[in-house]
Homo-oligomer: A and B are copies of this chain.
Amino acid sequence: MALLRTKLRKLVNEKSITTDYTMTLLNKTIEGIEKVSIDPDGNIKNRFDKLAIPAGSLGRLEEFATIYASIKGTPDATIKHKVVFTMAGDHGVSSEGVSVFPQEVTRQMVKNFLNGGATVSILARHVGARVVVVDCGVKADFMPVDGLKIKKVAYGTGNIACGPAMSREQAIKSLEVGIDVFNEEFMNGMDIIATGDMGIANTTPSSAIIACLTGADLSKVTGRGTGLNDNGVKNKINVIKTALDINKPDHSDPIDVLSKVGGFEIGGIAGLCLAAASHKTPVVIDGFISTAAALIACAIEPKVNDYLISSHTSTENGHEIALEKLQKKAILNLGLRLGEGTGAVLAMGIIEASVKTFTQMATFTDAEVSTPCSKKQFAAK
């Protein structure tokens, strides 16, 4: 505990001027995170053994149901409320030609999410999840509407090729945006959440973060984003290299990394992870950007990792390296690279399916199905 407090002081106090409120919310959230024991008393395994299926035949569905029940602390936990948070923010670095889309697309897509015409809107309806769109720092103003939370830290980050993305205060604030929106929505019912992002150029800060926190070479963690050609990728690598050289993020300090080369929506997603963990709520991590955010959350508090489930392997170069650092094996591998929370929402449907099989399936006894006993000499242990 003393160690945790020292760490928090380092993270929050020493390098920043923050209000009491700010310190309290982030610190309180981090302090509330407990490690997850997987099936500590064997109750989950015991129930699986009684279900009318061959042992182990559900494969990873058993793994997902076990993680879910372990996080919730009971084999009877079901999933009623599913929420996907699509966190939006703009990036000054978009002026460096690192995306094939113009910056105004961030604002336009936020409207598309709210109108229900975007991919994440459609997939969320498909799996029965609520979509909560959060303006973490879009370079435009929105009228308040249902489904949108306006929590703007600033009108876009600074251009990381010229200076820091944001101040340390803003980095903490962006984390707290995620904590805030989680806490607000938690009261409306929330059993599991999915993360998503929208921010033109945000694979660039994500690559920078992943390079910082995994130690991987930039060329291994920088990809085509929304559709760069080979020259575009070369330019992007140079831009990130410049950003790292100029800003010198401290690899051992995740809030410094976030402030120097991050993004407001990335901080927001990291905050969601922290808040969800503090409320014993599983977090389904989307693709490249969400995984970069998850790395920040886990660097702030490693216990967060116990609450994270990786949804899919993105085709964005470097995603697998980031997943490896988190020691996660994704649920889906469908060649997605869209963001928004699309992969996470699809995977949330699979996790829900696994929880249903575990909680609803008849046992051998209930269904009057014979157990595998008649051919013991050939039965695997």
Decide: B375 and A61 in contact? CB cutoff 8 A. Answer: no
Cβ of A20 to closest chain B Cβ, rounded Å? 42
Interface residues of A in 219-276 (CB under 8 A from B): 224-229, 231-232, 235
A378 to chain B: which residues have CB within 8 Å? 97, 100, 228-229, 231-232, 235
Distance in Å from the Cβ of A75 to the closest Cβ of chain B? Answer: 16
Given A101-B375, A332-B332: 13 more A-B contacts, CB < 8 Å: A52-B109, A54-B227, A56-B337, A58-B119, A59-B336, A97-B378, A109-B369, A112-B362, A117-B367, A122-B353, A229-B378, A232-B379, A349-B349
Residues of A bordering B, CB below 8 Å:
52-61, 97, 99-102, 104-105, 108-109, 111-112, 115, 117-119, 122-123, 125-127, 224-229, 231-232, 235, 315, 331-338, 346, 349-350, 352-353, 356-357, 360-362, 366-370, 372-375, 377-381
Are the C-beta atoms of A224 and B61 separated by less than 8 Å?
A: no
Name the one of B99, B117, B126 contacting A361, with C-beta atoms under 8 angstroms.
B117
Contacts of A55 in B (CB 8 A): 227
Given contacts A102-B370, A231-B378, A375-B97, contact A335 B59 (CB under 8 A): yes
Checking B101, B232, B367 against A108 with a beta-carbon cut-off of 8 angstroms, the contacting residue is: B367
Residue of B whose beta carbon sits closest to that of A312: B59
Question: CB distance A336 to B104 under 8 Å?
Answer: no
User: Judging by beta carbons under 8 Å apart, are A334 and B380 in contact?
Assistant: no
The docked-state distance in angstroms from the alpha carbon of A333 to that of B350 is: 12
4 shortest A-B CB distances, which residue pairs?
A: A59-B335, A232-B378, A117-B362, A54-B226
CA A202 to CA B107, docked complex, whole Å: 56
Main secondary structure of the interface of A (DSSP, over half): loop
Say whether A337 contacts B118, CB under 8 Å. Answer: no
- Whether A227 and B122, one on each chain, are in contact in the complex, defined by CB atoms closer than 8 angstroms, is no
Q: Which of B102, B315, B346 contacts A350 (CB 8 A)?
A: B346
Shortest distance between the CB of A227 and any CB in chain B (Å):
5
Task: Tell which of B332, B338, B346, B356 touches A54, judged by Cβ atoms closer than 8 Å.
Answer: B338
Contact of A58 (CB < 8 Å), options: B125, B126, B336: B336
Set of chain B residues within 8 Å of A235, measured between Cβ atoms: 378
The smallest beta-carbon distance between A307 and chain B, in angstroms, is 21
Find out whether the CB atom of B60 lies under 8 angstroms from the CB atom of A360: no
**Contact check: which of B53, B97, B118, B122 meets A356 at CB < 8 Å?**
B122
Contact B53 A352 (CB under 8 A): no
B377 near A118 with CB under 8 A, answer no
Min CB–CB distance A156 → chain B (angstroms):
16
Q: A232-B380, A337-B59 are in contact. Are A367 and B115 (CB under 8 A)?
A: yes
Q: How far is the CB of A315 from chain B (nearest CB, A)?
A: 7
Given contacts A59-B337, A229-B380, A379-B232, is CB(A122)–CB(B357) below 8 Å?
yes
Q: In the complex where A99-B375, A101-B372, A115-B362 touch, is A352 in contact with B57 (Cβ < 8 A)?
A: no
